[in-house]
Amino acid sequence: MTDIADTADALISDEMRAIEGRVLRSRTSYPISASDIRKWAIAVYYPEAPPAKFIDAGAAGGEEPLVAPEEFNPFSWATPGAKPAPADVSAGFIENTAGITPPPLHFMVNGGSVFEYGVPMREGDVITNEYSVKSYSVKQGKRGPLLMTESQDRWVNQRGEHVRSILMTLVRY
Amino acid sequence: MPITDITPGTEIPSFVRQQDFHAWNRFAAVNDEFVPIHMDDAAGINAGFPGAIGMGNLSCSYLHNALRSWLGEQGRICRVSVQYRQPNNRGSVLTTRGKIISATHGPARCEVQIELWMEDDAGRVLMNGEALVEVTGVEVIGLEASGA
Q: A101-130: per-residue pLDDT in tens? A: 999 999 988 899 999 999 999 999 999 999
Per the CB < 8 Å rule, is B87 touching A89?
no
Q: Note the Cα B12 to chain centre separation in Å.
A: 10
Over its C-alpha atoms, chain B yields an Rg (Å, rounded) of 17
Secondary structure letter of residue A20 according to DSSP: B
Provide the pLDDT for residue A143: 82
Q: Residue B38 class from Cβ within 10 Å (0-12 exposed, 13-18 middle, 19+ buried)?
A: buried
Q: How many CA atoms lie within 13 A of B14 on its CB side?
A: 11
What is the per-residue DSSP string for B40-105? Answer: -HHHHHHTTSSS-B--HHHHHHHHHHHHHHHHTTSEEEEEEEEEE-SPPBTT-EEEEEEEEEEEEE
With a cut of 90, say whether residue B9 has pLDDT above it. yes
Q: Does A87 touch chain B (CB under 8 A)?
A: yes
Confidence band for B146, pLDDT divided at 50, 70 and 90: very low
* Closest-approach residue (CA) in chain B for A172: B47
Per the CB < 8 Å rule, is A71 touching B60?
yes
CA angle A165/B19/B70 to nearest 5° reads: 55
Query: What average pLDDT does the segment B92-101 reach?
Result: 98
Closest among A75, A86, A55, A48 to A153, alpha carbons compared: A75
Output the average pLDDT for chain B. 91
Q: How many other CB atoms are there within 10 angstroms of residue B130's CB atom? A: 17
Q: Does A77 touch chain B (CB under 8 A)?
A: yes
Question: Count of A–B CB contacts within 8 Å?
Answer: 91
Confidence band for B136, pLDDT divided at 50, 70 and 90: confident
Intervals of chain A under pLDDT 50: 1
Amino acid type, A31: P
Contacts of A86 in chain B (CB under 8 A): 34
What is the pTM assigned to this prediction? 0.89
- Measured over the CA atoms of residue A94, residue A96, residue A97 and residue A98, the dihedral's sign is positive
Q: Which residue has the higher pLDDT, B105 or B65?
A: B65
